[in-house]
Structure formats: structure tokens, C-alpha cells
């Protein structure tokens, strides 16, 4: 609600949904496939300044969407980064123009497997081409071009959002001032690919999935998608945080039932996570987006040397990791830092002490928020976007 800006060409169907833009011309994907038309749904917060220099692009994670702040249209929750984004907050929408688009392949209005394939008049389903992180970023770059934004002040995001921020810095170093990849990596690890494969197989094994044609056939692979979500959700937490939250406590009962009911609170919690997820997420999108993450490897793209990915980079980087994140552990952020050091790039790196696991990037972690605020402030000052009181003096 806060300043979502409907000014540019809106082709959205539902009033309450985000504005959408159809990219001019096809999008040539990393796989070589030419995809057209491509529509991107996005949200904006705050106002673009006169010289169009105050954009912060936020890249969302696997199961998030463009609703970063304010009320979410299809859940009763607030946006996934509502704690960070808003007037006077760490990403201050009084000063910055925040853009977040639903990723290519997503299911919240951007072109993806659940949208209609113009060639068949049916949902794409598995006819949708496999996409990559690079394709997502290309789509974002084209969106920004069409919004008239040539230079982005800062690109940030957590998890898969961090991958996109790194891809931005790699591919468009002259179009961004700063990049803040949070709880991310330059490549998806074997363990992470393995977890994704469990999730995908759960979906594919659900008879309601119907070879991906569930939308035409009027079914929903909700069991498979829920199991995928449950398995993934465990990887977003940590053993200490699960123990603190649930321990071995029983759910609404005093003794075990000696059956397969959700006796334990942790089981009940996971089931709830799974069931609520299927209401807001498309199973095929889950297949495609997890695949995009699996294919991501910036080192391989750069002749095996990650340092080559950031050759003479003018971008100011701030990497943030979390001690208890075992999905994207600190060591992977540190490898990026080393690659950036090899280019003597301007890089800050902080590992935040927390027991909340990978999900910490979504939670209220004062040390994390303080670090991000300080970095943004420093980078803003360096390009004359400094403090709020300077704003009036600009031109």
C-alpha cells in the first residue's frame, strides 16, 4: 500500500495485484530458448527521485514474491521484508525507490509455468522452458530499462535473492553502485541440490501432479508440494532453534498416541507450514525455480575462477552471513569475499551471530539490520545520496 506506484504501463488483470509490464521483444534464455511474450509483475515503494538515482532493487528468495512490505494480497501476513522496508526503516522508502519483481518462472503474476502459453491457449506447465538465475536477472534488467531506470543504487536479497544480487554484480557491474548478497552463495552446493531434488520428487510422485498438467485437469498436487515445503523448511532453521521452539513437546496431548498422528509439536508445525504453502504457491513454479538455483555457479561461468566473475569490479559489496545457517554457510560467503579481495574490490563482510539458521535474514536481527543500515548509508554518501537533509539540496 505504501506508495505502490501504478504509473507505468499496467496490464494487470486483478485490481489488487501488482502492476505488470510486458517486456519489449523476446527474452533469449541461457538455454538458448527465445521466450515471448514475457510479463513481469512488480511492486514499488517510495518515489523515484528526479535524476532516477535512488533505486534499490530487492530480489526475492525461492518461495517469496514481490510483496516486500505492507499487507500481502493473498495471505493475511505483511510482506516478507516488512521489518526492513518502509518509511524510516533500514531500507528507507522516504529516501529510496524500492523495486521488487516476481521472478521469471514465479507464480505471482510474472510469466511462469502457470500462465497461459499463447501457442496453446493452455497453461505452460512443463512446456515452460527451464530458466536460470541469469534469466531472472535479465528479465529484471529489462523491466528496469522499461521503467526508465538506467542505474540502480543497490541490489540486495537473501538466499536466491543473494544469487541474483551476485549475478547483477557479475553481469552489470556498471549499472549498479552496491550489491548486498545476504545468506547466499556463488553456487548451489551438492547438499542443496540434493534437498531440492527431494522436494521435486515429492511433487512429481503426487498422482495429482498429472505430469505437470494439473491445472488443465483440475487437480492440485498439494500433498507433494506440502512435503516439499516441509523438507525445505527444516533446512531454513537450525537444530538449536527447533529445540528452543519445540523440544520434544507433545501437541495438545499428555502422552504419545503410539500412532502416526502429529504427536510432537514440531510435526504439527511442519504440517502447518506445508498446508499453508500450497495455498499460495504453484507446484510447477517450485520445480522450475529450484532448478534455476541448482544450475547457478558463477565460478564455472567464469572459467572456473570465481575471481574472474568480478574482474576490476567497481561495485561496493557487503556480504552478510549467519553463524547457524547450514544451508548457505558462512564459508561460502567467505569464498566470495576472497574472490573479491583478489580484485581488491570494495567489500565489507559480516557474519552475524544467531541461532535462527538460514531464516535469520527474514527475522528481526538487530546486528544484521544495523550492519545493513550502516552499509547503505555509507554507499549512499559515496554517490551523493547521503542523509535525508541533503535531499532538498540536490539540483
Contact pick of 252, 344, 392, 395 for another protein (by CB under 8 A): 344
Of 11, 365, 8, give the one whose Cα is nearest residue 158.
365
Helix axes of 265-280 and 222-236: crossing angle, nearest 10 degrees: 120
Q: How far apart are the first and last CA of the chain?
A: 29
Of 106, 30, 21, 68, give the one whose Cα is nearest residue 283.
106
- DSSP codes joined into one string, 293-318: HHH-BHHHHTTT-GGGGGTT---EEE
Contact pick of 389, 392, 393, 395 for another protein (by CB under 8 A): 389
Minimum CB–partner distance for residue 184 and another protein (Å): 16
With b meaning 16 or more CB within 10 Å and e meaning fewer, what string describes 300-312? ebbeeebbbbbee
Residue 57, beta-bridge partner list: 99, 155
388 binds another protein (CB under 8 A): yes
With b meaning 16 or more CB within 10 Å and e meaning fewer, what string describes 348-368? bbbbbebbbbbbbbbeebeeb
Whole-angstrom distance, CA of residue 126 vs CA of residue 95: 42
334 binds another protein (CB under 8 A): yes
Q: Of the ranges 145-153, 243-251, 283-291, 373-381, which one interacts with another protein (CB under 8 A)? A: 373-381
54 binds another protein (CB under 8 A): no
What is the footprint of another protein within residues 302-331 (CB under 8 A)? 316, 318
Contact pick of 343, 355, 363, 383 for another protein (by CB under 8 A): 343
182 binds another protein (CB under 8 A): no
Phi, psi angle pair for 165, to nearest 5°:
-60, -40
66 binds another protein (CB under 8 A): no
349 binds another protein (CB under 8 A): yes
375 binds another protein (CB under 8 A): yes
* 210 CB-contact burial (10 Å; exposed 0-12 / middle 13-18 / buried 19+): middle
Task: Give catalytic status of residue 159 as yes or no.
Answer: yes
370 binds another protein (CB under 8 A): yes
Complex with another protein: residue 208 or 351, whichever CB lies closer = 351
Complex with another protein: residue 8 or 374, whichever CB lies closer = 374
Contact 265, 246 (CB under 8 A): yes
Minimum CB–partner distance for residue 157 and another protein (Å): 18
Minimum CB–partner distance for residue 348 and another protein (Å): 4
Minimum CB–partner distance for residue 45 and another protein (Å): 20
Q: Given 135, 294, 325, 359, which residue is catalytic?
A: 325
Task: Give catalytic status of residue 325 as yes or no.
Answer: yes
122 binds another protein (CB under 8 A): no
User: Count of residues for the chain?
Assistant: 395
Q: Given 222, 282, 358, 359, which residue is catalytic?
A: 358
> Which cell goes with 146?
522499461
Give CA torsion, residues 15, 20, 22, 26, to 10 deg: -130
173 binds another protein (CB under 8 A): no
89 binds another protein (CB under 8 A): no
Enumerate residues 6+ apart whose C-beta is below 8 A from 352. 320, 321, 322, 323, 360, 365, 367, 368, 371
Q: Of the ranges 6-14, 148-156, 217-225, 335-343, which one interacts with another protein (CB under 8 A)? A: 335-343
Q: Of the ranges 22-30, 146-154, 215-223, 370-378, which one interacts with another protein (CB under 8 A)? A: 370-378
Complex with another protein: residue 3 or 374, whichever CB lies closer = 374
Contact pick of 350, 360, 362, 385 for another protein (by CB under 8 A): 350
Residue 326: Cβ within 10 Å count:
16
Name the residues annotated as catalytic: 159, 325, 358
Instruction: Return residues touching another protein (CB under 8 A).
Output: 316, 318, 334, 337-338, 341-344, 346-353, 367, 370-371, 373-375, 377-379, 381, 386-389
Amino acid at each position: 500500500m505504501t506508495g505502490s506506484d501504478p504509473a507505468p504501463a499496467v496490464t494487470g488483470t486483478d485490481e489488487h495485484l501488482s502492476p505488470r509490464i510486458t517486456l519489449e521483444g523476446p527474452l533469449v534464455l541461457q538455454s538458448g530458448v527465445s521466450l515471448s511474450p514475457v510479463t513481469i509483475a512488480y511492486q514499488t515503494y517510495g518515489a523515484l527521485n528526479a535524476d532516477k538515482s535512488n533505486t534499490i532493487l530487492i530480489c526475492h528468495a525461492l518461495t517469496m514474491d514481490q510483496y516486500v512490505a505492507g499487507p500481502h494480497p493473498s495471505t493475511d501476513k505483511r510482506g516478507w521484508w516488512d521489518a526492513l522496508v518502509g518509511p524510516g526503516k533500514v531500507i528507507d522508502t522516504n529516501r529510496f525507490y524500492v523495486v521488487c519483481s516476481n521472478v521469471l518462472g514465479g507464480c505471482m503474476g510474472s510469466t511462469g509455468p502457470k500462465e497461459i502459453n499463447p501457442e496453446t491457449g493452455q497453461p505452460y506447465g512443463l512446456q515452460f522452458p527451464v530458466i536460470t538465475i541469469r534469466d531472472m536477472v535479465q528479465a529484471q534488467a529489462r523491466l528496469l530499462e522499461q521503467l526508465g531506470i538506467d542505474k540502480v543504487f543497490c541490489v540486495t536479497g537473501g538466499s536466491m535473492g543473494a544469487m541474483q544480487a551476485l549475478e547483477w554484480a557479475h553481469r552489470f557491474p556498471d549499472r549498479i553502485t552496491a550489491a548486498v548478497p545476504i545468506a547466499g552463495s556463488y553456487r548451489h552446493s551438492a547438499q542443496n541440490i540434493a534437498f531440492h531434488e527431494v522436494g521435486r520428487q515429492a511433487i512429481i510422485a503426487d498422482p495429482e501432479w498429472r505430469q505437470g498438467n494439473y491445472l488443465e485437469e483440475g487437480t492440485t498436487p498439494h500433498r507433494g508440494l506440502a512435503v516439499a515445503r516441509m523438507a525445505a523448511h527444516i533446512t531454513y532453521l537450525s537444530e538449536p532453534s527447533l529445540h528452543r521452539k519445540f523440544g520434544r513437546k507433545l501437541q495438545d496431548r499428555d502422552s504419545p498416541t503410539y500412532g502416526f498422528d502429529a504427536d510432537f509439536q514440531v510435526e504439527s508445525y511442519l504440517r502447518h507450514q506445508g498446508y499453508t504453502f500450497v495455498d499460495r504457491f504453484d507446484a510447477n513454479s517450485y520445480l522450475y525455480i529450484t532448478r534455476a538455483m541448482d544450475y547457478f555457479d558463477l565460478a564455472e561461468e567464469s572459467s572456473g575462477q570465481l575471481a574472474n566473475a568480478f574482474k576490476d569490479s567497481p561495485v561496493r559489496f557487503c556480504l552478510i552471513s549467519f553463524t547457524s545457517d547450514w544451508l548457505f554457510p558462512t564459508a561460502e560467503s567467505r569464498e566470495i569475499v576472497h574472490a573479491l579481495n583478489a580484485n581488491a574490490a570494495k567489500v565489507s563482510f559480516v557474519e552475524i551471530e544467531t541461532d535462527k539458521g538460514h531464516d535469520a535474514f527474514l527475522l528481526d536481527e538487530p546486528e544484521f539490520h544495523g550492519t545493513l543500515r550502516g552499509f547503505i548509508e555509507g554507499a549512499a554518501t559515496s554517490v551523493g545520496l547521503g542523509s535525508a537533509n541533503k535531499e532538498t539540496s540536490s539540483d
